[in-house]
Amino acid sequence: MPRAVKFTRYGGPEVLEIHEVPRPQPGPGEVLVRVAVAPVNPGEAGIRQGVFADIWPAHFPEGQGNDFAGWVAALGEGVDDFTIGDEVIGYLPRAAQADYVVSPAAILTPKPADITFESAAPLSAVGVTAWAAVDAVRPEPGDTVVVSAAAGGVGSLGAQLARLRGATVIGTAGPHNADFLRSLGVTPVEHGPGLADRLRVAAPQGIDAYIDTFGQGNVDTAITLGVKPRRINTIADGRAVARWGVRSEAQEDVFSRSVVAELADLVSKGLLTVPISTVLPLEQVQDAYRQVQRRHTRGKIVLSLVPEEERSAEAARITSGL
């Protein structure tokens, strides 16, 4: 039977279990997707822990995972813009880590054939979040932009997108990520105490915009350095938004099929890299979340529901209707 990650109570990664579930059926306007890859994201851990229970309460047994990529396996009535076997990118809150998911056809994005499932799947979550953050601070050619936690999932994509707009990008990270950031064309600066002084040295002409993906005082640092609040965006510090009036645009503010498609096109053209730190089988979902919750991950951790060596056979099986 198909598998799905579920949890029946709030808690840490240990509450995650793999359940056997019936294969879902698409309704009118919907598509059944055979999931190949589903990333893990820090915010999903907060929901599972009950941190956001007042806003997004769980309905046990609750699913896990938001973003995915896979193949169209069945079409609901009225769907005519996809065919069986098409490769797609999707976003379904609390449902993505499952062998099969049902998605409205209108929010699925065709996956370019020349990018991997691993590179495609994160685009609908961290990719769109990075897009929103960069768009919020409006980098222009000649600007200097700081991105906190620039080696992480959102940070690494945000830094690249800011560079594509012509900005000089400084990325804060641990020293072990310095060479990685340089490989993306980003100037590394070590995070931690004394950050403001190090940023002054790295940007003697001043800093024009600041994208905070980590919290822990980054917005305060940006204000100290004279960055205007309207050119600061944080996805990790709600108190700073209330205190300073900075921006807080994220995935939900700009999500659309067209944005995901544009990100996928940038990857296809070699203009945007989606760093993948680890690929784990679905059975190691608990370990995947333990790793992501340490907040030291370079790029993305993704769960593989169909091993790479089996994907050609799986695609053929789906297309043949088996």
The CATH number given to whatever domain includes residue 168 is 3.40.50.720
For 33, the 3-state DSSP assignment is strand
The reply to whether 111 falls in a domain is: yes
Same-domain status, 117 and 161: no
Answer yes or no: are the C-beta atoms of 152 and 171 closer than 8 Å.
Answer: no
For 26, the 3-state DSSP assignment is coil
Q: Does any domain span residue 261?
A: no
Q: Is the model more confident about 114 or about 52?
A: 114
Give the type of residue at 204.
P
Same domain, 64 and 172: no
* Position 296 confidence tier, pLDDT thresholds 50, 70, 90: confident
pLDDT confidence of residue 65 = 97
Give the DSSP H/E element, type plus range, for residue 238.
helix 238-244
20 contacts: CB under 8 Å, gap ≥ 6: 1, 2, 3
Q: Are 187 and 181 in contact (CB under 8 A)?
A: yes
Q: What is the pLDDT of residues 20-59, one digit of tens each?
A: 999 999 999 999 999 999 999 988 998 999 998 998 899 9
Specify the number of domains making up the chain.
Answer: 2
Average pLDDT score, the chain: 97
Please indicate, yes or no, whether residues 90 and 117 belong to a single structural domain of this protein: yes
- The percent of residues above 90 in pLDDT, for the chain, comes to 95
**Is 264 a domain residue?**
no
Check residue 72 and give its pLDDT: 98
10 shares a domain with 108: yes
Dig out the tokens for 143 from the structure.
């600007």
Reduced to 3 states (helix: H, G, I; strand: E, B; else coil), residue 100 is: strand
Indicate the helix (H) or strand (E) that contains 291. helix 285-293
> Which residue range(s) make up the domain with 158?
126-252
Total-model pTM: 0.97
Q: Are residues 302 and 213 in the same domain?
A: no
Q: Is position 38 within any domain?
A: yes
Q: Are 162 and 226 contained in the same domain? A: yes
Residue 145 lies in a domain: yes
What is the mean predicted confidence (pLDDT) over 170-194? 97
> Does 149 fall in a domain?
yes
Residues 131 and 171 in one domain: yes
- Do 119 and 134 fall into the same domain? no
Q: What are phi and psi of 79, to 5 degrees?
A: -90, 115
